[in-house]
Amino acid sequence: MIEVKNIVKKFGAFAALDHVDLKVANGELLALLGPSGSGKTTLLRIIAGLDWPDAGEVSFDGENALAHGASERHVGFVFQHYALFRHMTVFENVAFGLRVQPRAIRKDEAAIRARVKELLDLVQLDWLSSRYPSQLSGGQRQRIALARALAIEPRILLLDEPFGALDAKVRKELRQWLRSLHHEINVTSIFVTHDQEEALEVANRVVVMDKGRIVQIGTPGDVYDNPATAFVHSFIGESIVLPVEVRDGCVELGGKPLNISADGVSSGASKLFVRRHDMAIGPAGSGAFEGAVRHVRTFGPIQRAEVALSAGEGTTVIEIDAPRDRELQPGDIVSLHPRRYRIFAGQD
Amino acid sequence: MSQPKISPSTAREDLRTEPQVIRIVIIAIAVTFLTVFVVLPLVVVFAQAFSKGIGAYFAALSDPEALSAIRLTLMVAAISVGLNLVFGVIAAWAIAKFDFRGKTLLISLIDLPFSVSPVISGLVFVLLFGAQGFLGPWLQANDVHILFAVPGIALATIFVTFPFVARALIPLMQEQGTQEEEAAISLGASGLQTFFRVTLPNIKWGVLYSVLLCNARAMGEFGAVSVVSGHIRGETNTMPLLVEILYNEYQFVAAFAIASLLAMLALITLVAKTILERHLDEGRLPGD
Ligand SMILES: Nc1ncnc2c1ncn2[C@@H]1O[C@H](COP(=O)(O)OP(=O)(O)O)[C@@H](O)[C@H]1O
Ligand SMILES: [Mg+2]
């Protein structure tokens, strides 16, 4: 088990990590999700021993990891830009970790060759073994970087935005591949991304970071359905966000009361979050909002409608998703009611 | 009215449609300039060296004084290139891969020899080690000879040539960053293994390139060496110094024979430099 306790990391006065706590179970595949600059890379680097925290503890299976440098931690790190050794062939890149082992435990040449071959087979790139990194595509480099990290039989595998630099199609393929690879080798892994869809698709558990803090930890379903903060709600999955006023448990939009409750939210300016597909369309007068349909686009199983809400002085335009079989025309007056919604106190 | 769109290729086409006359004139000026200032002097050097025949040429080169100068030059170049190589790689490594206080100061110090006249550089060593100098009395008392001896010549040459290696490697190493080193360390490599297996191979062409330039300068250095050498015949004259002495004594064949060796060194350096520059680009990972 990897345990990170109360980690603080500062760059000058700026706290890149602000009291971070995290436990990762053995064999788990964890996604670290957060916007750019939220401290994901910094956290990985501290776990790997490439950076040192200003305060806090890191332990692997109860053993203090901070007592060891990066070269002694047996952490496989797949860098965002791969960091393949440019003057070495693919084969030598993968063999590197085996060749630099202390003589006492180093494998002989035949065993190293066998192991490298095995790893290249695992990432399905055996046929590239004599190429140089500059002769590979992005996706191939990515997989070689992974094979290289796995060569040392790491106790933990850290992947920093492994698909960040790849095009959409390759990303999709590699996601599934990574999932099944993890299933096969079952090494404890942390995988960083700023793409929520990717995190939700690949990981068993998702850790959401913002501004150097962990704001929520949960299964992908949890994080999507029960976001802990306004930030998580807007970062994970698209949402309709409306500025509302909470007054003694009642919710008002532009001075007009909505017939939804705000249990447990303290009075004051707040934000109402609704997923697009959670906005139910009913006959006029039945819901929380009234609005006029402006524009309808259909794709796949859904139709997306732009609705101008008549609330308060101005008009607020929102986009909702409705099933295909619901007849919608521009100009229709509709009533909208959120099946599920969240209200978070504060402006942001 | 809309602007006509110029695609990059047509734009270049346009630039090239200078009137033919102008093109010819420009090229002619460049060629003439090169001929007068580079090719002609080279031709003159070799013409003078061989003006009394091949026999006289080789006789001049096998003169004991000439042989001594060649030996001294090779030795001084070997010492200063060797030391500057070690120093330059270490300095470039420190500057490119680590952050520390006084880094900017170190970079300016490395550049110092480029901005100081070589004669001044030589004088600094005279002030330091000369009989009236700072360390002179102590050196005399202990019978250590630096000035007007090989150590002084080596020191002056080292000083004048020490920016070459560091200067060539710093940008190269900065561009390459520390990612590969971090990868190596996380794969279990020690600091030395990382240096010899990752850092050094990545800069090897840059190292060769800078050694080449450093060597050319070390062998050709005149000013600084002239100040500290003392011009003791057969002992402390390097090739450039000997050329001047022979020339002043109207021994033109001998002077130009030695000069022809230096000219050949320059030509070889030029060719090697061109080849190395091609390899230097391999140090960069394209399409990253
Ligand atoms: N070496 C550094 N020096 C100064 N600031 C840094 C350094 N590394 C990271 N930071 C800052 O720390 C914050 C977190 O960075 P990082 O961990 O790379 O974020 P992420 O990987 O989530 O995009 C950023 O604001 C970044 O500018
Ligand atoms: Mg990052």
Rounded Cα distance between A79 and A339, Å, is: 42
Give the pLDDT score at A254. 78
Strands A75-78 and A156-160 turn out to be: parallel
pLDDT of residue A75: 95
A246 CB less than 6 Å from ligand 1? no
CA of A16 to the centre of ligand 1 (A): 6
As given in the structure block, the two tokens for residue A62 are 């109860």
Among protein residues, the one whose CA lies closest to atom 8 of ligand 1: A42
**Higher per-residue confidence, A224 vs A314:** A224
pLDDT at B5 over 50: no
Mean per-residue pLDDT, B101-112: 90
pLDDT at residue A33 is higher than 70: yes
Domains along chain B with CATH numbers:
1-49 (no CATH), 54-283 (1.10.3720.10)
Q: Is the pLDDT of residue A166 over 70?
A: yes
Of residues A118 and B17, the one with the higher pLDDT is: A118
pLDDT digits (tens, 9 = 90+) for B243-270: 999 999 999 899 999 999 999 998 998 8
Give the ipTM of the model, two decimals please: 0.85
Residues 172-201 (B) with a CB less than 8 A from some CB of A: 179-180, 182-190, 193, 197-198, 201
Most informative mutation of A7, A9, A41 for ligand 1 (most atoms within 8 A of CB): A41
Q: How confident is the model at residue A251 (pLDDT cuts 50, 70, 90)?
A: confident
Contact map slice: B 193-252 vs A, CB within 8 A: 193, 197-198, 201-202
- Dump the DSSP string for B33-100: HHIIIIIHHHHHHHHHHTTTHHHHHHHHHTSHHHHHHHHHHHHHHHHHHHHHHHHHHHHHHHHHH---
- The pLDDT tens digits for B78-104 are 999 999 999 999 999 999 888 888 889
Compare CB distances from B186 to A48, A81, A101 and report the shortest one's residue.
Answer: A48
The predicted structure's pLDDT at residue B15:
60
DSSP H helical ranges for chain A: 40-48, 90-99, 109-122, 138-150, 168-185, 196-202, 220-225, 230-235
Q: What is the pLDDT of residues B186-240, one digit of tens each?
A: 999 999 999 999 999 999 989 999 999 999 999 999 999 999 988 888 888 999 9
pLDDT at B1 over 80: no
Residue nearest to atom 1 of ligand 1 (CA): A11
Closest-CA residue, ligand 1 atom 3, reads A11
pTM (2 d.p.): 0.81
- pLDDT at A244 > cutoff 50: yes
Q: Is pLDDT at B60 greater than 80 in this prediction? A: yes
CB B221 within 8 A of CB B164: no
pLDDT at B6: 46
In angstroms, how far is CA A146 from the centroid of its own chain?
A: 19
- Residue A26's SS3 state is coil
For A237-242, what is the mean pLDDT? 86
pLDDT on residue A149:
95
Size of interface A-B (CB pairs under 8 A): 70
Nearest ligand to the C-alpha atom of residue A161: 2
Instruction: Provide the CB-side half-sphere exposure for A161 (13 A, CA).
Output: 17
Q: Is A193 in the pocket of ligand 1 (CB under 6 A)?
A: no
pLDDT in tens, A285-311: 777 888 888 888 887 788 888 888 876
Sheet containing strand A289-299, edge to edge, reads A279-282, A333-338, A289-299, A302-310, A315-323
Q: Whose CA is nearest to atom 7 of ligand 1?
A: A11
Q: Is the pLDDT of residue A228 over 80?
A: yes
Higher-confidence residue: A339 or B288? A339
Nearest by CB to B193, which of A72, A83, A100? A100
Nearest ligand 1 atom to the CA of A209 is 22
**Residue A16 near ligand 1, beta carbon < 6 Å:** yes
pLDDT at A315 over 80: no
Q: Is A150 on the interface with B (CB under 8 A)?
A: no
Secondary structure element (H or E) that encloses residue B26, with its range: helix B20-34
Residue A43 C-alpha to ligand 1 middle, in angstroms?
Answer: 10
Q: Which atom of ligand 1 is nearest to the CA of A35?
A: 22
The string of DSSP letters for A242-285 reads: EEEEEETTEEEETTEEEEEE-TTPPSEEEEEEEEGGGEEEESTT
Q: How far is A32 from chain B (nearest CA, A)?
A: 20
Top-confidence residue, B17 or A152: A152
**Cβ separation A96–B189 shorter than 8 A:** yes
Residues A81, B197: C-beta atoms closer than 8 Å: no
- The per-residue pLDDT of chain A, averaged, comes to 89
Q: Which atom of ligand 1 is nearest to the CA of A43?
A: 17
User: Which of A69, A74, A77 comes nearest B183 by C-beta?
Assistant: A77
Gap between the Cα atoms of B158 and B171, Å rounded: 22
pLDDT at A85 over 80: yes
pLDDT at A121: 92
Look at residue B282 in the predicted model and tell me its pLDDT. Answer: 61
| Ligand nearest to the CA of residue A40, numbered in listed order | 1
Position of tokens 């070799």?
B46
pLDDT at B157 over 60: yes
- Would you say residue A110 has pLDDT above 80? yes
pLDDT at B9 over 60: no
A237 at interface of B, judged by CB pairs closer than 8 A = no
A44 against A346, higher pLDDT: A44
A15 phi/psi in degrees, rounded to 5: -90, 105
DSSP line for A283-314: STTSSSEEEEEEEEEEETTEEEEEEEEE-SSS
Where does the pLDDT of residue A314 fall: very low under 50, low under 70, confident under 90, or very high at 90 and above? low
Tens digit of pLDDT for each residue in A126-139?
Answer: 999 999 999 999 88
- A100 C-alpha vs ligand 2 centroid, how far in Å? 28
Residues with CB in 5 Å of ion ligand 2: A 41
Say yes or no: B283 contacts chain A, CB-CB below 8 A. Answer: yes
